[in-house]
Chain A
Amino acid sequence: MRILVVEDDLEAQRYLVQGLKESGHVVDEAGDGDLGLSLALSRPYDIAIVDRMLPKLDGLNVVAEMREHGNTTPVLFLSALSEVDDRVKGLKAGGDDYLTKPYAFVELLARIDALMRRRTPAGVKTQLQVGDLELDLLTRAATRSGQEIELQPREFRLLEYLMRHAGQVVTRTMLLESVWEYHFDPQTNVIDVHISRLRAKIDKGFELPLLHTVRGAGYMIRAAAA
């Protein structure tokens, strides 16, 4: 996939570009807002990673200009600014996601994957399926191998999010942001307990587990490799 990185801190830029290339992406880089904008407008990218504070043209303005020119490339903001109001400003300017520095690279990768997935909607789905686990979004029913699973509303949303990103790493922060809509870091890792509850409901008594813990990153739901 083609990714544009607009970052003025050259050390951080080198690291980002290298990491993304190692993950199998094609990467272009820009060190300031002007170059970033002209690249974004002249070549097709699957995603743009834009630093919030850039020389020449501020990150917010880069994205606002992109949107004004009808460019819909998903944008992930990176910001070293304090967070409280900044996230809202970034999303208002047309950003699709927002990550505060310093971040873990796995977090960035997971968010890029999620943004890509969002870009290619396979029509309006009413049914999600991973292996023999099925989720009916209309009747709000979950079944595994035809066996009904009782889920609390929040467990349903958690499972839905995981299944929409089946085969991708989903971080704890992403879950907290999307399922609970909280943008803070709870001191104790409450998400892990929710996951283990969910796991007990969907994996207990079945031979092949679907919900996996990805060490140092988060969780992933996927069917057993056939």
Chain B
Amino acid sequence: MATGLYSQHLHNRKVLYIRNTVITIVLVALAAATLFPIVYMMMSGFGPNVATAGNMRTIFPSRFTLESFEAFFNFSEYSLRWIWNTFVVSAGTVIGNVIFASMAGYAFAKIKFKGSNALFALILVAMMIPYQVTQVPLYILMVQKFSMTNTYAAMILPSLCTAYNIFLCKQFFSGLPTPLIESAKIEGCNQLQVFTLIILPLAKTVLAVMAINTFMSSWNNFFWPFLVTNDPAMYTIQVGLKQFKFANETLFAPMMAGATISALPMFIMFFSLQKYFMEGVTIGAVKG
């Protein structure tokens, strides 16, 4: 604990009090600036269906109503399906990553097989390649060679098992004691049994973190679903929101309602699973 950094005025209560108050004011002011766009978005979304921001002089709407949401959902007959589509794509991506990335991560961490170091190094290098490099070939592959436009598979497959998640799992499994695995093997477990009966129960936290992070990035992903869908019935909510924005440049409140719909599930998830989100930020980062 780095509390020693603030040990200066501990015996002078008055100075201590003033210092903490000043810090709090600065922090709250910065937080308010950070949160303002989001609060503004939700407030306006729940406000009356007005066309321009000019009618929104205050942050609180003149009355709370759902008519802006109605206007957003009336824009396309598929708008409710967009949410469902996003959910299917995100859930599929999560399931794939939890199964395949954890298996690969375990193998790279604890099974000694020929070529494991070289293959893992390859995956590490791949993590550094910007997505712009792969986007065009991937697009040609999925859309022109596999003709998979407007399918869930096209949206899920490319991120079914990401290099980052393999890396994350490998890091975690490397920290588990090897004697644990050895003794299980002596007891007669094969690697699959070791993995499912011993390793996975120990990895609940890291798998939860991975699942949540993957779900969030998949839910918020705009670019790839945008490239591989052109049928409104198959849009994800992000793609739908973008199309709504380009079609209705001037509809202020419904646009805010749409943005709220796309972001609210993530806010709810964040507040109910905050611990895992925070862990997810630091888990792959450096040790201080």
Our verdict on whether A and B bind, yes or no, reads no
